[in-house]
Structures are given as structure tokens and as C-alpha cells.
Amino acid sequence: MRLADLQTPCLVLDRAVLTRNIARMNARAKELGVTLRPHMKTAKSAEVARRVHGGAVGPITVSTLAEAEYFAKHGFTDMIYAVGISPDKLDRVAKLMADGVDLKILTDEIGVAQAIAERGKALGVKFRTLIEIETGGERAGVLPASPELDIIGKTLDEAGMLAGALAHAGHSYGADGISEIQEIAEDERAGVVAAAERLRAQGRKVEIVSVGSTPTALYGKHLAGVTEMRPGNFVFFDLFQTGIGSCAIGDVAVGVLTTITSHRTSRKQILLDAGALALSKDTGANRHMDAGFGLLRPATGALPDKPLAILDVHQEHGIASYARGLDQVDPFPYADYPVGGRLVVLPNHVCMTAAMYDRYYVVDSSKAGGSDEVVDVWDRVNGW
Amino acid sequence: MRLADLQTPCLVLDRAVLTRNIARMNARAKELGVTLRPHMKTAKSAEVARRVHGGAVGPITVSTLAEAEYFAKHGFTDMIYAVGISPDKLDRVAKLMADGVDLKILTDEIGVAQAIAERGKALGVKFRTLIEIETGGERAGVLPASPELDIIGKTLDEAGMLAGALAHAGHSYGADGISEIQEIAEDERAGVVAAAERLRAQGRKVEIVSVGSTPTALYGKHLAGVTEMRPGNFVFFDLFQTGIGSCAIGDVAVGVLTTITSHRTSRKQILLDAGALALSKDTGANRHMDAGFGLLRPATGALPDKPLAILDVHQEHGIASYARGLDQVDPFPYADYPVGGRLVVLPNHVCMTAAMYDRYYVVDSSKAGGSDEVVDVWDRVNGW
């Protein structure tokens, strides 16, 4: 099977780039002396998770219970569900634990910690719970020196259900440059370690001290006191990660294969069959570059010097022209973009884009002619 | 099964509101003297399509070939695939036609019209093709008085493959008020009818003259010369349609059921388990109201006078507080929003939001206590 045989829009994954991205993050984890627990919220694929762990199962992070159930079916047993849990989800967690999955959960709420302890007791299950620590992101978590931390720690520890402390420096995505990422990484590390030390000083056992985010994992200076890191986006990267300096544009491993359906010569545009559903409406990368809803490269080549971008999307239509006004080629080189021709959209935010698809068509640019041959098809899990 | 038994996030559909919305659009089609060919890009559900046609199969519009295949399996035979086709998709269309589906296709490109004629001849299939007409939306289509129209018409007609002309006034979504919608509706009608008349004057047979969009279907003054209309969003409506005046907020039939996972008391916020994937990143309704990523109502009640909105989203987190600064209640009434409690998010743009889910949990607010009882589960089709 070749790219030309695929129905568009669909996801294309370059195995060679994936392998390189994984090697880079494994080297970082080794250098920092922590376990790599990749966040599967991005790839949602057992094949990708196994590759991070050298072909075997290993520790992973999940963002939904649907992911936990999928990875359990694929033999993964060591997981953290890294989204604050609501009590109604505990029975589903207990079922996975009964099946032998060491599925750890997360909370930052006193009431939920109590509900976890009570439901665990009622079910005869020792839920393994991490406490979410806020280190500056203003999303979730208790502060490292807060009375809430002490109460949640006591509640969980006395029930035998305290497993550790976890922070996610999601605000690293808003950083301006690598030195700011390094500051945020240190806040993340220091905050979660302070919380763990405070709990230990109160006699609590804190086994896991976990940090996350692709930018902080790549640029943090050290991880003293931390046991593991949970980056996720790094397996694929995207235009946003390129913009904040996590990667080069050639490190983006996943794109959307699309077909040119029409020429809009009066407006120097082309129409594509990749629209809002195929790409998502995430435009985050435009903070860093004129990316529109994604930049266009040839189906089997690199991004050209003067790329087209998807400037507007409707549900199933993408409207593309030059990304930057200065790049205009006049007249528009329609011969390079024939109707029926194929392009690949480099996504703004791959976690959002990939979520619309149930599989990856895998190519391998390290093989001669490999970028055009579909060497494998990998599934992924969506939904909740 | 009751709402409390569901795992969140999930889609909840109120059958009573759906029924009312369908009755309204059927009345409009009758009043305008045209066939209603609902666009299933929004609902993507055979149950919803059948309800538009009084419980039977009937003409529909689809936005993907995956939809065409799904509806064919459910017995629907009269369809328009209303996105400009690329030649690589023709064999999939031919297969559906061989199975007895009258699947009509669309183009606005001379080269594609030629490819349709050639591929049809090679396969021994008379593709039934509509010509897309631009009437102001600047997305797709040839102009009604253009030489391209004549050439495409000739190419298709001589191959015995011309079925009609079609316009979509997508720019009605950008209208300011009902009188502007009415102007756009008249442009849409007049443009597509002019194209049909021009083709007929050249001796072409033009069977279908099709217009679309929920706002123009609701507010167009007359549809002289038109044979059918293709609104889609009207079955569910959303905050955007509320904003442009297509419906009242009580007409929104679909929402996302979500669970409160945490209180952020220091910021007067609550955290929810419906984030960017559960809601989409579409923020279009904010042109008309402070909707954030969606407004929150109780799981079984109407929108409160001072609603909360989802102010920010991460992949699996929604952060909610008062939609409008003036609405602040001080102190924040956390007792009304307990951790573990359920809310429904009214979506900005339901076509984008619903696309993340594979089913609707159906309630019926016209029954006593019906808003809380899951009376049915309807599937939907996603992907391509």
C-alpha cells in the first residue's frame, strides 16, 4: 500500500522521526536519572507506547479511563490516570485494579480524598492515589505548603492509599524562550519535591514524585528528588512545540494527508478536503508563526521555503494559500498543486488533531522511498 | 438508566427539543414549497435522519463518504455528498451506487468534471453530479454567469452525468441580524436559480436546484425556482445559532454532560472533566455572547440567569466561572456546584462538539421526570 492508495483525510506517521524523538526523550530521562512514564494522551496507541519502552510494556500515563482500559488490554499494567478523578469513576478504576492493573489516580480535593478512602474501604480496594500539586499553572492542584495538602495526605495515608505527589507545568506552553521554560521546570520540580518532603516530614510514605510536560522535560536542568517524568507530545511534536523551541520542524512526526479538491484562481487559493474536523480548530501555534490551521508540505517531502498554510476551515473544507504575505509567488504556481494532488498538513497541536482519527498510517522516511510506502497501520483509542 | 449512571463526559440529547426543532423546519420546507434534505453533518445519526422524515427514510445530505456508507447501511438511498469531490473518491461512490444508493456528487472544477466523465465511462457508471455555485460565500463554487459553469455543464451533460446545481450560503453564519440573513438567502436562491436557468438555456437538463444553511432556510423569504434545501444544524442548534437569531437558547437540544472534579476557591472557579476534546476549541459564539467554550446549565434544568461558562480548556480539563463579570455572585455559591455534581455544557458549535462522541444518550423533557431518564441510546458515525 502506498500513500496514493489511502482515502483522505487520514493521519500519516513517520516511524523514523518517531524513533528519533523517542530516543531523544529516553536519553533525557537517563541523563536526569528518572523513569520515563510517557503520557499517552497524544499518541493513544499501544504501538507507540511499546516503542518508548524499547518494544516492551512499561510505565505510562493516561488521560482517560478509555485509554486505561485500552492499554490494559494491550498488557500495560503500570499507569497513572493523570486527571483529577471524580468519585463516580472509582468503580471503573477498581475493576481495572481487580484485573491486575496498577492504575494510580489523582486528586487535589479533600472531599474526593475522603470519597476515595470510603469507596476503597467499601470495595475492599486500596486505591493508589497521588496528590496533585500546583506549581504555577493555575489549573489544578494544592499548593505545596497548604493545609489542604496535609489533610489530603493524612486522609489517604491513614486509608493506606497514598502513592505520591504529581505536578504538571502546563504553563510551560506559554513560556517565551528556553530560559523561561527552565525557570518553570525548576518551579515544577521544586514544588512537587517540597510537597513530597512536607508529607514525609508528617510521617507519610511518598513513593512517586512525578513531573510532566514536554518543554520542561526537555529543558529542565535537573530533577533532584523526582522519581519520574510524564511528557507526551514529544513522540510526535507539532508546530506549537516547534514555535516554543522544543523541536525543529523536521521533528514533527505526524501530519494529515489531504487531497486538493479545487483551485480558487480568483483568490490565489486552493481548496483541500481537510477542514475543521480533520485538523481541529486549535490555532495555538500562531503565537509563534503564521501557521493558520496548519502548514502544508508535499506528501513525501520536507516543508518548502515558501509554504502554504490552511488560512480558513469549514467543517470539511480547508482553504489554503501562502502562509506569509511576503512569501507570495506570482502567479500562484498551480502546476505544483494540481487538483487531485496530495499534501500533508503539519498540525498546530497534534493532541487535538490526532483525536479525530482511529488509526495511523505508518511510513518510514529512513528507508529508500519509504516516505511513500505504508509500512504499517497502528490503531489508537479515542473517547472516554 | 439515569443521567447519574453515565460516565462523563458524554453527549445528552433531548428528544422533545429535537422533535420541536424538526417540526419547525418541516413546516418551513412546506411553507417554502421545497423538499427538506437535511444535512447530516451535524447529527450523523440514522435515528435523527429518520425523525426528520417522520420515521421513514428520505432524502439526506452527507459531508463524508463514511456518512454515506453508514446511512446506506441504514436503508437511506437518496443522498447528496455535498463536498466537492476529488477523483480518488469516485470508486467508493461507484461502489455505493452499485449497491443501489442514488448518491449524488458535487464539483466546481473543470478538470474534476472531466475526470468524473472519464471514470464513469470506464466503470460503466453514470455519476449523478451537481455543479457547485458560488453565491457570495467565497468558499467554493463557480459563479452563475461564468464560462466555467458552461464548460462543466457541457462536460457532465454530454456524459449523461449532470444532476443539478447547488449553493451553500455559509456566509450567513457571519450575518449581523435577520435582515442580513434574508439578503444572503436571496443571493443564494437567485444565484443558484440563475445558474440552473443558464444551463437550461444551453439545453442542459437540471433536475435538482439545491440551497442550504440553517439561517437561510429559516429566514429566506421565498425559494422560487429551488427544489430542495439542506439545513443541518437546526436539529440540535447551539450557542452560535442562538447568537445569530436562528433559535432561542431553550431550543438547544444537545449538550455535554460533565462532572465537577474540583473547587478552585482561591480563583472562584470550578474544574470539570469536559475539556478541549470533549467540547472542541470552537469559540465562534463569543462573537454574540460571553460563552467561553460553552455555558453551563444544571443536568436537568434550564440555563440559570447568571450562568457559569467554561473560560479555559486543557485537553481533559474545563475551568469554569461566571460567564460575565457582572454576573458574579459573591461569595461563589460552591454549595450549588458540589464536587461530583453534574452539569450540562451548551456547546458553541454543536457540529464540532458532537464529532468527538460515538453516541447520544437520549432524554425526553416532555415526560414527567424525563430529563433525568435515559430513554434511548442512538449511535452516530464519525471519521471519513
Residue A29 has pLDDT above 90, yes or no: yes
Predicted model pTM: 0.97
- Peptide linkage before B331 cis (omega within 30 of 0): yes
Residues above pLDDT 70, as percent of chain B: 100
Q: Which residues pair with B12 in a beta bridge?
A: B255, B361
pLDDT of residue A175: 87
- Choose among A88, A263, A382: nearest Cβ to B259: A88
The CATH superfamily assigned to A3-9+247-379 is D-serine dehydratase-like domain (2.40.37.20)
Which segments of chain B belong to CATH 3.20.20.10?
15-236
Partners of B85 on chain A (C-beta within 8 Å) are: 261
- Site from B5, B65, B86 to mutate, A interface, most A CB atoms within 10 angstroms: B86
pLDDT of residue B172: 86
Q: How many CA atoms lie within 13 A of B328 on its CB side?
A: 7
Partners of A261 on chain B (C-beta within 8 Å) are: 83-86, 109, 112
Range B354-377 average pLDDT: 93
Q: Which secondary structure element, helix H or strand E, spans residue A377, and what is its range?
A: strand A376-379
Partners of A148 on chain B (C-beta within 8 Å) are: none
Q: How many CA atoms lie within 13 A of A262 on its CB side?
A: 25
Which CATH fold topology does A16-235 show? TIM Barrel (3.20.20)
- Rounded to the nearest angstrom, the minimum Cα separation between B222 and chain A is 27
Partners of B384 on chain A (C-beta within 8 Å) are: 7-10, 278
Q: Between chains, do A319 and B139 touch, taking CB under 8 Å as contact?
A: yes
Which segments of chain B belong to CATH 2.40.37.20?
3-9+247-379
- Peptide linkage before A9 cis (omega within 30 of 0): yes
Q: Which residues pair with B79 in a beta bridge?
A: B60, B103
The residue written with cell numbers 496507541 in the block is A45
> Confidence band (pLDDT; 50, 70, 90) for B32?
very high
- Peptide linkage before A331 cis (omega within 30 of 0): yes
Q: Between chains, do A340 and B271 touch, taking CB under 8 Å as contact?
A: no
Q: Which residues pair with A308 in a beta bridge?
A: A296, A322
List Cβ neighbours of A127 (8 Å cut-off, separation of 6 or more).
A90, A93, A94, A97, A105, A116, A119, A120, A161
- Peptide linkage before B9 cis (omega within 30 of 0): yes
Mark which residues 78-117 of A lie under 8 Å from B by CB.
Answer: 83-89, 92, 107-109, 111-112, 115
The residue written with cell numbers 509563534 in the block is A288
Instruction: Nearest chain A residue to B116 by CA: give it.
Output: A340
Which segments of chain A belong to CATH 3.20.20.10?
16-235
Task: Give CA–CA dist B103/B91, Å, rounded.
Answer: 12
B356 at the A interface (CB within 8 A)? yes
B241 at the A interface (CB within 8 A)? no
Q: Between chains, do A7 and B88 touch, taking CB under 8 Å as contact?
A: yes
List Cβ neighbours of A90 (8 Å cut-off, separation of 6 or more).
A105, A115, A116, A119, A120, A123, A127
pLDDT of residue A226: 98
Q: Which secondary structure element, helix H or strand E, spans residue A26, and what is its range?
A: helix A15-32
The 3-state DSSP class for residue A330 equals coil
CB B94 within 8 A of CB B123: yes
Number of H helices and E strands in chain A, helices first, is 11, 17
Partners of A382 on chain B (C-beta within 8 Å) are: 356
- Site from A92, A337, A339 to mutate, B interface, most B CB atoms within 10 angstroms: A339
- Spell out where chain B has E strands: 10-14, 35-36, 60-62, 78-81, 102-107, 128-133, 162-167, 208-211, 228-229, 254-264, 269-272, 295-298, 308-313, 318-322, 342-346, 359-363, 376-379
Q: Which residues pair with B264 in a beta bridge?
A: B269
Let me know how long chain B is.
384
Which range among A317-331, B80-94, B120-134, B310-324 shows the weakest confidence by mean pLDDT?
A317-331
CA R_g for chain B: 22
Instruction: Nearest chain B residue to A143 by CA: give it.
Output: B266
Pick the CATH number of B15-236 from 3.40.50.300, 2.40.110.10, 3.20.20.10, 3.30.70.980: 3.20.20.10
Mark which residues 258-317 of B lie under 8 Å from A by CB.
Answer: 259-264, 267, 271, 273, 276-278, 280-283, 314-317
> Confidence band (pLDDT; 50, 70, 90) for B266?
confident
User: pLDDT tens digits for B100-139?
Assistant: 999 999 999 999 999 999 999 999 999 999 999 999 877 8
- Do the bridges between strand A254-264 and strand A269-272 make them parallel or antiparallel, or are there none, so unpaired? antiparallel
Task: Give CA–CA dist A139/B112, Å, rounded.
Answer: 50
Q: Which three cell numbers stand for residue A309?
A: 498554510
ipTM: 0.96
pLDDT of residue B83: 97
Task: Give CA–CA dist A184/A369, Å, rounded.
Answer: 42
Cα-based torsion angle of the residue sequence A82, A87, A89, A95 in order, rounded to the nearest 10 degrees: 100
